[in-house]
């Protein structure tokens, strides 16, 4: 079972090595020892030409895994989150500012899925299949980046106006911060893009439910009330 990955370069491994090469090596090791089943996760919408390095690397690994000699299960997921995780904590800290910056216009859409619902789906997918299976795991709502930020801030008792930031300027600023701070950077450009790319499944929660999981709404998980007059589009 391969659940590792990341959007940040590490001291001894790049994003491409973490998300692409590592998956390929684990697959080959599993084949050599006669493993009966290989389970792994990848973001929805990952392609070899995706703007995010992590997604490009995952897409290349997906090609190799799809041609494996052993049964495999691919769990393609939308934005995964959990209260207190790195990305939500970053949004909460931005809530102390008068205006909360958005990556781009804040219109990128995802179907956020709670980490615990994702974990239940992974456990349900362990049973070895015949051939290769793929499940698209998404939450019950389609939310823009702006709406995700509002929910996170509402869960901490704050309401702030949003400040869309041009992608070109934000990229330059974060690249400069990475150069100066190195591994201690608060957030990297690759990580910031996670809120600016779309990760959608036309099947909504169908595949999760096929695994016996009913994903919960983000507001329910975070304990956040929906602001008055704010509509959430159903998946």
C-alpha–C-alpha distance, residues 113 and 226, integer Å: 17
Q: Is residue 63 over pLDDT 90?
A: yes
Residue 106, in any domain of the structure:
yes
* 138-183 per-position pLDDT tens digit: 999 999 999 999 999 999 888 888 888 888 888 888 888 878 887 7
pLDDT reported for residue 168: 85
Residue in the structure block whose two tokens are 């934005």: 79
Start-to-end CA distance of the chain, whole Å, equals 29
Helices 86-94/145-155 angle, 10° precision: 80
Residue 187, in any domain of the structure:
yes
C-alpha–C-alpha distance, residues 147 and 69, integer Å: 43
Q: Is residue 229 over pLDDT 50?
A: no
Range of the domain at 96: 15-218
Positive/negative CA dihedral, 161, 171, 167, 109? negative
φ/ψ region of 69 (left if φ > 0, alpha if ψ in -120 to 50, else beta) reads: alpha
Q: Are 125 and 211 in contact (CB under 8 A)?
A: yes
- 219: tokens are 């507001």
pTM attached to this predicted model: 0.87
pLDDT: is 150 or 11 the higher one? 150
- 40: tokens are 């792994």
Residue 112's pLDDT band, with cuts at 50, 70 and 90, is: very high
- 48: tokens are 């070899």
Residue 46, in any domain of the structure:
yes
Residue 133, classed as helix, strand or coil, is strand
- Residue 27's contacts (CB-CB under 8 Å, 6 or more residues apart) are 2, 38, 61, 64, 65, 68, 72
pLDDT: is 192 or 117 the higher one? 117
* 24-49 per-position pLDDT tens digit: 999 999 999 999 999 999 999 999 99
Residue 182, in any domain of the structure:
yes
Q: Are 141 and 183 in contact (CB under 8 A)?
A: no
Instruction: Return mean pLDDT, the chain.
Output: 89
Residue in the structure block whose two tokens are 């690994």: 61
pLDDT reported for residue 17: 94
C-alpha–C-alpha distance, residues 182 and 32, integer Å: 37
Q: What is the percentage of the chain residues whose pLDDT exceeds 70?
A: 95
Residue 152, in any domain of the structure:
yes
Residue 70, in any domain of the structure:
yes
Residue 230's pLDDT band, with cuts at 50, 70 and 90, is: very low
Q: What is the mean pLDDT of residues 195-203?
A: 91
Residue 224's pLDDT band, with cuts at 50, 70 and 90, is: low
Residue 24, in any domain of the structure:
yes
β-pair partners for 73: 39, 133
Q: How many domains does the chain have?
A: 1
Positive/negative CA dihedral, 44, 47, 52, 54? positive
Q: What is the percentage of the chain residues whose pLDDT exceeds 90?
A: 60
* 205-221 per-position pLDDT tens digit: 999 999 999 999 999 99
Q: Residue 163: give its domain's CATH number.
A: 3.40.50.720
Residue 223, in any domain of the structure:
no
Q: Is residue 225 over pLDDT 70?
A: no
């Amino acid at each position: 079972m391969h659940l590792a990955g990341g959007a940040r370069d590490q001291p001894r491994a790049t994003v491409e090595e973490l998300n692409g090469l590592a998956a390929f090596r684990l697959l080959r090791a599993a084949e050599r020892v006669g493993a009966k089943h290989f389970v792994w996760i990848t973001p929805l919408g990952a392609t070899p030409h995706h703007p995010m390095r992590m997604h490009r690397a995952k897409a290349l690994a997906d090609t190799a895994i799809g041609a494996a000699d052993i049964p495999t299960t691919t769990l393609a997921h939308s934005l995964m989150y959990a209260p207190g995780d790195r990305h939500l904590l970053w949004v909460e800290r931005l809530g102390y500012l008068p205006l909360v910056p958005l990556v781009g216009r804040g219109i990128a859409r995802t179907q956020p899925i709670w980490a615990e619902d994702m974990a239940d789906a992974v456990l349900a997918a362990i049973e070895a299949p015949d051939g290769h299976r793929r499940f698209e795991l998404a939450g019950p709502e389609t939310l823009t980046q702006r709406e995700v930020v509002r929910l996170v801030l509402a869960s901490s008792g704050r309401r702030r106006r949003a400040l869309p930031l041009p992608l070109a300027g934000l990229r330059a600023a974060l690249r400069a911060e990475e150069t100066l701070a190195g591994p201690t950077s608060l957030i990297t450009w690759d990580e910031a893009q996670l809120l600016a790319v779309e990760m959608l499944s036309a099947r909504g929660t169908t595949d999760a439910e096929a695994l016996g999981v009913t994903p919960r709404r983000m507001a329910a998980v975070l304990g956040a009330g929906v602001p008055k007059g704010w509509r959430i589009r159903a998946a």
